[in-house]
Chains A and B, each alone.
Chain A
Amino acid sequence: MATTSLSKAEKSYIQAGLLATPPQRIDGRDLFDFRTVALETGVAPLSNGSARLNIGKDPQDGGGGTGVIAATKLEVENVEEDGTDGGRLVCSVTCSPAAYPHLSPGALDDLQQDMTTILHQTLSHPSLHPANLGILPRKKAWLLNLDVVVLSDAGNVYDALFMAARAALYDTKVPRTRLVEMHSTKIAQKSWNTTDGMDVDQSAPSGLDTRQAPPAQDFDLVDYWDEGEELDGRTRWPVSITLNIVSSSYFLDGNLQEEAAVPLRILLVFSFLDVNAPTVQATRMLGSGEIQLDQIKSLLSDGQKYAWEIFSSLTAKLKDEDVRRTLKDRERFVTRQ
């Protein structure tokens, strides 16, 4: 993961600082401190859900930090052609060349491919599949496209990706649809006719016979003005926590130089029903370093603790964003002038 090249001297300087007692990081943070996380939802009005997230923005000039935009877009798919019954989720990550100026286009492609794979594999797992992506059984379903763009990378891009993805999915509204059913007098008639069993001519399969197909043929939007209902299971979407391992110790939310200096990072992705019911959705080891199995166990339980912190504060922020964008804005409109 050499997104930044670092000299040996620099590397050893950073590592020495991290292993010192008390540990020292270049920006003065504690090992388990996160930089400021800024989040805003509903940034792309034409999408079905969107969020902008920044980790470590400079409070003075508002610049810097890891910036990510995530947006979802729903598309109607024909199940017979290329869709999946019950809908599907497709994630893709794009890295802006400005975020990685020193990478060649090929390397950039590789990088975003890596990120896409992790995100897609984790989020499209059946255990997280939202129930309301189906429209018409065996005919039509929603394709939920989740696109994440990395605008700038100042370290810890994976945590940022998952947080932004969670925020955008949380924000996603699925347009309400209604099945349009054909009245079934004919179907009733048909089956009545065939139970009769006497008429041999009728046993030939008829083109009009629709008993096997579901009665609904098409769908319609319930309300054209309504954004729709929330995506099912929106609180389940996981967050990731990246543990940067330096020999026996580890730290969180590394910046670019720190990430370049550590030989191994472990990515843990958790989803929570509540604080006591975590699910590990994915783990990844990044980097060339090695680690003992017994160490992983303790890392996992530590990671769970930090992930819950992120998860619960993110949920609180998302709820707050919801209120801001509906009630408060509406009030401001009514009381304008």
Chain B
Amino acid sequence: MTDDIFIQKRSRTEAVVTQRKFFKKTARGKVIKVLRERYLRDDVGCGIENCSSCRDSSEGSLPYPGALNHPTYPNGHFLLPDTNVFLNQMDLFEHDKFNPPIILLQTVLEEVRHRSLPLHNRLKALTNADGKHVWIFYNEFQSETAIVREEGETPNDRNDRGIRRATQWYNSHISVARPPIRGRPTPILPTVVLLTQDVANRQKAEEAGLICASVRQYVKDMKEAGILLDVLAADGSGQIEPTRAVAGRQARYPEYLPTSALQAGIKASQLYQGYFNASAYNYLEGNVSVSAFTRPILLVGRENMNRAVQGDFVVIEIFDESEWKAPTDEVVDQDATLKNDDAEDSENEEDDEVHTKETKVVLSEKRTAEKQPTGRVVGVIKRNWRAYVCHIDSTSLTSSNTSSLSQQTVFATPVSRLLPRIRLRTRQAPSLVGQKILVTIDRWETTSRYPEGHFVRALGKAESKEAEQESLLLEFEVPYRPFGKAILDCLPKEGDKWVVPPKSDTSPEWRDRQDLRELLICSIDPPNCQDIDDALHARTLPNGNIEAGVHIADVSHFVLPDNPMDSEAASRGTTVYLVDRRIDMLPSLLGTNLCSLRPHVERLAFSAIWELTKDADIINVRFTKSVIASKAAFTYEEAQLRKDDPSMQDDLTKSIRLLNHLAQKLKAQRMAAGALNLASPEVKIHLDSSESPDPIDVEQKELRETNSLVEEFMLLANISVAKKIQETFPQTAVLRRHMPPPPTNFDKLKDLLKKKGGFNLDVSSSKALAESLDLCVRPNEPSFNTLVRIMATRCMLSAEYFCSGSVGRDTFGHYGLASPIYTHFTSPIRRYADVLVHRQLSAAIGYTPLHPSLHAKSFVERILEGVNRRHRLAQNAGRASVEFYVGLALRARREKDPKNKIIEAGYVLRVFRNGLSVFVSKLGIEGLIMFKKPIQFDAENHMITIPVPGSGQKDVSISVFDHVEVLIDVEKDKNTQRGKVKMTLTRPIDSTGL
């Protein structure tokens, strides 16, 4: 439509009032004056369908009669919410049961943008959502609704006035557009309802004759009130909430400092900023890592943690050294300590039981470990609040009305131990007990011990597989929605019929590609692997050297930069593997078909081909795009058998042997350079047949020679590629590094090994560490070494992707692999960083030009930051999924044979003042054993002594690394509905009753 657009130019005399001037303080402390012109128009449409007085009424999205289903407004109404309503109640507007016609003013939209960008994006999405009727009215550009700030008026008041003015205009506009016509019934005029939480604004509006309502008032009278009221954010709407408690409330937490003071403090290095980490063992403790200190800053007690929630970006003040403390050695469980706290009136009593208990815990001098810098939170820069998976704490329900539908305040206990309990008001409490639900934190007042939140939706019954599965994905923020149409449109049109076209000079697929179809290439993967992204070959060259090739799926051929599929992959970052499910980074057509290097079909690949001597010294390496046809897809086991079977003498088997030979040499070289052989508890869940998805057993992963074969070649490929792209793009190469851990991380482990085994852990370099780890052996306990390696792994930092131009050249190294440079190239189907590396390598060999975004350091940094985060979350999600299935498997085993108790051998990992943590390597689980009766705790020797009840038997001492036997049971926690692995000592002492 090429309708004429005209702008009415203001007359010069209006300039002073139509120019919007404001000042801006820049990050560098300069003050800038900004000037905006405003042109007023007469033709801004009201958005009501078929409005007779608007110029173009056909495109309106608001129904002509308004919404007729609200009992308070029988003549129909339109909703006009103000800014705070959107800021606080976005969940309500997004609810699919809430869809009255909404007039969204430009003033409101802009204010929301200034206050919160994520909310602004949600609001924008809302305007286009199906089933919602939202019209954006540009009131600041409408000549009749535009207003000018009065002398001495605050910006807020000005905006409120603008909103009221627009409401007024709408009302008169509607009556003008629907004039009474003689002979016909008087037209019914819908009202425009100003929705605001601000009492003063409401008063002013009522004075001006406008109809207004608070959100709660409005929703209360709706038909769907029961459901919608729960979605309302806890908001101090003084009207409805009884005022009884307010007066007596006392601030429990200090107020945060104003943002500007925080910034000033940080600049002056009096305050520090960092991410808040809650302690998993003690809910009254947390820490913040700050670059200025080598050790994390300890925060002890509620007041000092000052309403920080796991992951918040906080500002802390550090106490004088005389007040520094050590972390406690005691396990303090939130569920146990706060058991009796009443959700309804916990705010009333000042010196209530909980407070005394907590103070006791915090003040207890049971802190023996070394003191750590200690501080307190004085402000929060960015909240990390999102929706959390929780259970309703059934004991917090008011017992009398377990079946009624009246509103009550209850506690929701998040699944994650790192989060505080959330208080929420709901009418559906009884029906939500025993369900997994999603809860958002709205706010945390200084007067309230717990944060307040609201119910978002129910996920299903706790421990049902679907609910647990979804809650896992939500908890680790894994995007699991199916791929949208825009993304699927980026796939090749031929779908699964796509094949490599016949070789010709004109076909774009074959341009500059090497034809490697004749090579004896095979892939080795775990069983049932569908996304095969690597394949290998090796052959002896006429000159006696060996040619070895790693062929990686050419994902970048299909995933082009900057299209919807690419951005989705970038935001997903990685494929997430759960026990029984895989959440793909790329649509499965690519991942499991077109890119997957299946046997006997032609596939596009990106190959790295080396010429190696017999001793695996690299003579040269080249990279090329290629077409391959894999000859076989082996599992690790198959490949191993083939290799070991002397009767097999075909070329494929020979090439596997050749590869294996090289891999051993490569590994030896790597180990000599000081690569670490680390371990993490990995177990494998056997899933039963398709009929019952229940796991039947747990076993530890077995490692074969062929695992290491594949691994060595992948490492070789990654290192070679890293060198190449770093040379070509020194500023923006996508690399991966593993920083050497600060030696202090090992202090505890060193001390332990020294005292408990007489082993000397040398952490001066990775080589020294590797060698000293090798020496930590107990002759008759083969798993002891693994245990030490697991503990050493926990002391390390995690590896991360980074942009080569962003950090110093000397920090590129990969500590664990002892390689000076490293990247990820070999799994582009399931890791986004690899896709970027493919693009850079492809540009480095002159195959394609590099997309401009990959020349921008800031872009690469931003993407990699996201990928790092996703990677971490994906690992945690996978681990949590395994844990859940281990629990299920254990329970299944118990149920099958209730008499047969599960007793496993384990090691003591850590001792606490009132308990110990035991690691059962066979099941890969770690459990806490707590003692109710007093025990002796010797922090110096990492030992506890348990008095044996009854006749003067000798006390039993247990220390770290001791071999114990535990009885494992799965227990359903009464309060949280959490399937908890419960361990009880059986040897050296039966801890039942202790």
List chain A positions with a Cβ less than 8 A from chain B.
42, 45-48, 74-76, 78, 140, 175, 180-183, 186, 189-190, 193, 207-208, 210, 216-221, 223-225, 227, 325-326, 329-330, 332-334, 336-337
Minimum CB–CB distance from A5 to chain B (whole Å) comes to 40
- In the bound complex, residues from chain A placing their C-beta under 8 Å from that of B150 are 330
- In the bound complex, residues from chain A placing their C-beta under 8 Å from that of B264 are 180-182, 216-218
- Inter-chain contact B31/A45, CB cutoff 8 Å: no
Asked if B95 is at the interface of the complex by the 8 Å CB criterion, the answer is no
Given contacts A182-B264, A219-B260, 19 further A-B contacts (CB under 8 A): A42-B16, A75-B30, A180-B261, A181-B264, A182-B270, A183-B261, A183-B378, A186-B320, A189-B320, A193-B320, A208-B270, A210-B270, A217-B265, A218-B260, A224-B23, A225-B149, A225-B155, A329-B17, A333-B18
Asked if B268 is at the interface of the complex by the 8 Å CB criterion, the answer is yes
- Inter-chain contact B261/A175, CB cutoff 8 Å: no
Q: In the complex, which of the residues B19, B30, B151, B155 contacts A45, with contact meaning CB atoms closer than 8 Å?
A: B19
| Sample of 28 A–B contacts (CB below 8 Å) | A42-B16, A45-B15, A45-B21, A75-B30, A76-B30, A78-B29, A140-B29, A175-B31, A180-B260, A180-B261, A180-B263, A182-B268, A182-B271, A193-B320, A208-B270, A216-B264, A217-B264, A217-B265, A218-B260, A223-B155, A225-B20, A225-B149, A325-B16, A330-B150, A332-B14, A333-B14, A333-B17, A333-B148
- In the bound complex, residues from chain B placing their C-beta under 8 Å from that of A220 are 25, 260
- Inter-chain contact B14/A221, CB cutoff 8 Å: no
- Inter-chain contact A175/B267, CB cutoff 8 Å: no
Q: Known contacts A76-B29, A76-B31, A326-B151: does B14 contact A217 (CB below 8 Å)?
A: no
Q: Known contacts A182-B261, A333-B14: does B267 contact A224 (CB below 8 Å)?
A: no
Minimum CB–CB distance from A220 to chain B (whole Å) comes to 4
Question: Complex Cα distance A110/B29, Å?
Answer: 36
Question: Complex Cα distance A221/B32, Å?
Answer: 11
- In the bound complex, residues from chain A placing their C-beta under 8 Å from that of B143 are 336-337
Minimum CB–CB distance from A229 to chain B (whole Å) comes to 12
Query: Digit string of B251-269 for contact with A (CB within 8 Å is 1, else 0)?
Result: 0000001101101110111
- Inter-chain contact B148/A330, CB cutoff 8 Å: yes
List chain B positions with a Cβ less than 8 A from chain A.
13-25, 29-31, 33, 35, 143, 148-151, 154-155, 257-258, 260-261, 263-265, 267-271, 317, 320, 378
Question: Complex Cα distance A193/B321, Å?
Answer: 12
Minimum CB–CB distance from A134 to chain B (whole Å) comes to 14
- Inter-chain contact A218/B29, CB cutoff 8 Å: yes
Question: Complex Cα distance A60/B261, Å?
Answer: 59
- In the bound complex, residues from chain B placing their C-beta under 8 Å from that of A189 are 320
Q: Known contacts A76-B29, A326-B151: does B260 contact A186 (CB below 8 Å)?
A: no
Q: In the complex, which of the residues A48, A140, A183, A210 contacts B33, with contact meaning CB atoms closer than 8 Å?
A: A48
Q: Known contacts A74-B31, A210-B270: does B14 contact A329 (CB below 8 Å)?
A: yes
Question: Complex Cα distance A224/B23, Å?
Answer: 5
Question: Complex Cα distance A299/B21, Å?
Answer: 46
- Inter-chain contact B267/A227, CB cutoff 8 Å: no
- In the bound complex, residues from chain B placing their C-beta under 8 Å from that of A76 are 29-31
Question: Complex Cα distance A193/B257, Å?
Answer: 25
Question: Complex Cα distance A216/B265, Å?
Answer: 9
- Inter-chain contact A221/B257, CB cutoff 8 Å: no
Minimum CB–CB distance from A200 to chain B (whole Å) comes to 15
- Inter-chain contact B151/A221, CB cutoff 8 Å: no
- Inter-chain contact A330/B23, CB cutoff 8 Å: no
Minimum CB–CB distance from B876 to chain A (whole Å) comes to 37
- Inter-chain contact B25/A181, CB cutoff 8 Å: no
Question: Complex Cα distance A207/B318, Å?
Answer: 13
- Inter-chain contact A224/B22, CB cutoff 8 Å: yes
- In the bound complex, residues from chain B placing their C-beta under 8 Å from that of A210 are 268, 270
- In the bound complex, residues from chain B placing their C-beta under 8 Å from that of A334 are 148
Minimum CB–CB distance from B290 to chain A (whole Å) comes to 14
- Inter-chain contact A217/B33, CB cutoff 8 Å: no
A333 closest partner in B (C-beta): B17
Question: Complex Cα distance A45/B154, Å?
Answer: 21
- Inter-chain contact A221/B270, CB cutoff 8 Å: no
- In the bound complex, residues from chain A placing their C-beta under 8 Å from that of B271 are 182
Q: In the complex, which of the residues A181, A208, A227, A325 contacts B21, with contact meaning CB atoms closer than 8 Å?
A: A227
Q: In the complex, which of the residues B18, B30, B148, B267 contacts A217, with contact meaning CB atoms closer than 8 Å?
A: B267
Q: Known contacts A175-B23, A223-B155, A225-B22: does B14 contact A183 (CB below 8 Å)?
A: no
- In the bound complex, residues from chain B placing their C-beta under 8 Å from that of A181 are 261, 264
Question: Complex Cα distance A111/B35, Å?
Answer: 34
Q: In the complex, which of the residues A78, A216, A221, A333 contacts B25, with contact meaning CB atoms closer than 8 Å?
A: A221
Question: Complex Cα distance A186/B320, Å?
Answer: 8
Minimum CB–CB distance from A317 to chain B (whole Å) comes to 17
Minimum CB–CB distance from A72 to chain B (whole Å) comes to 11
- In the bound complex, residues from chain A placing their C-beta under 8 Å from that of B378 are 183
B144 closest partner in A (C-beta): A337
Question: Complex Cα distance A76/B18, Å?
Answer: 27
Minimum CB–CB distance from B436 to chain A (whole Å) comes to 42
- In the bound complex, residues from chain B placing their C-beta under 8 Å from that of A46 are 33, 35
Question: Complex Cα distance A224/B156, Å?
Answer: 12
Minimum CB–CB distance from B64 to chain A (whole Å) comes to 28
Q: In the complex, which of the residues A182, A208, A221, A337 contacts B23, with contact meaning CB atoms closer than 8 Å?
A: A221
- Inter-chain contact A186/B31, CB cutoff 8 Å: no
- Inter-chain contact B149/A218, CB cutoff 8 Å: no
- Inter-chain contact A329/B260, CB cutoff 8 Å: no
- In the bound complex, residues from chain B placing their C-beta under 8 Å from that of A47 are 33
- In the bound complex, residues from chain A placing their C-beta under 8 Å from that of B30 are 75-76
Question: Complex Cα distance A180/B148, Å?
Answer: 30
- In the bound complex, residues from chain B placing their C-beta under 8 Å from that of A75 are 30-31
- Inter-chain contact A330/B17, CB cutoff 8 Å: yes
8 smallest beta-carbon distances between A and B, as pairs:
A217-B264, A218-B264, A180-B260, A220-B260, A329-B16, A333-B17, A217-B268, A180-B264
Minimum CB–CB distance from B26 to chain A (whole Å) comes to 9
Q: Known contacts A76-B31, A180-B258, A189-B320: does B13 contact A332 (CB below 8 Å)?
A: yes
Question: Complex Cα distance A42/B16, Å?
Answer: 9
- Inter-chain contact B268/A329, CB cutoff 8 Å: no
Q: In the complex, which of the residues A182, A190, A332, A333 contacts B265, with contact meaning CB atoms closer than 8 Å?
A: A182
Question: Complex Cα distance A225/B22, Å?
Answer: 4
- In the bound complex, residues from chain A placing their C-beta under 8 Å from that of B154 are 223
B265 closest partner in A (C-beta): A182
- In the bound complex, residues from chain A placing their C-beta under 8 Å from that of B261 are 180-183, 217
Minimum CB–CB distance from B315 to chain A (whole Å) comes to 11
Q: In the complex, which of the residues B151, B155, B265, B268 contacts A224, with contact meaning CB atoms closer than 8 Å?
A: B155
Question: Complex Cα distance A132/B261, Å?
Answer: 22
Question: Complex Cα distance A207/B269, Å?
Answer: 10
- In the bound complex, residues from chain B placing their C-beta under 8 Å from that of A330 are 17, 148, 150
- In the bound complex, residues from chain B placing their C-beta under 8 Å from that of A208 are 270
Question: Complex Cα distance A179/B941, Å?
Answer: 53
Minimum CB–CB distance from A313 to chain B (whole Å) comes to 24
Q: In the complex, which of the residues A74, A78, A224 contacts B24, with contact meaning CB atoms closer than 8 Å?
A: A224
A73 closest partner in B (C-beta): B33
B153 closest partner in A (C-beta): A225
Instruction: Kindly name the residue among B16, B22, B150 whose own CB sees the greatest number of chain A CB atoms within 10 A.
Output: B16
- Inter-chain contact B317/A186, CB cutoff 8 Å: yes
Question: Complex Cα distance A333/B268, Å?
Answer: 47
B19 closest partner in A (C-beta): A45
Q: In the complex, which of the residues A221, A332, A333 contacts B31, with contact meaning CB atoms closer than 8 Å?
A: A221
Minimum CB–CB distance from B844 to chain A (whole Å) comes to 45
Minimum CB–CB distance from A153 to chain B (whole Å) comes to 27
- Inter-chain contact B35/A45, CB cutoff 8 Å: yes
Question: Complex Cα distance A45/B20, Å?
Answer: 10
Instruction: Kindly name the residue among B154, B258, B264 whose own CB sees the greatest number of chain A CB atoms within 10 A.
Output: B264
- In the bound complex, residues from chain B placing their C-beta under 8 Å from that of A175 are 23, 31
- In the bound complex, residues from chain A placing their C-beta under 8 Å from that of B17 are 329-330, 333
Minimum CB–CB distance from A194 to chain B (whole Å) comes to 12
- In the bound complex, residues from chain A placing their C-beta under 8 Å from that of B257 are 183
- In the bound complex, residues from chain A placing their C-beta under 8 Å from that of B268 are 182, 210, 217
- Inter-chain contact B320/A225, CB cutoff 8 Å: no
- In the bound complex, residues from chain A placing their C-beta under 8 Å from that of B23 are 175, 221, 224-225
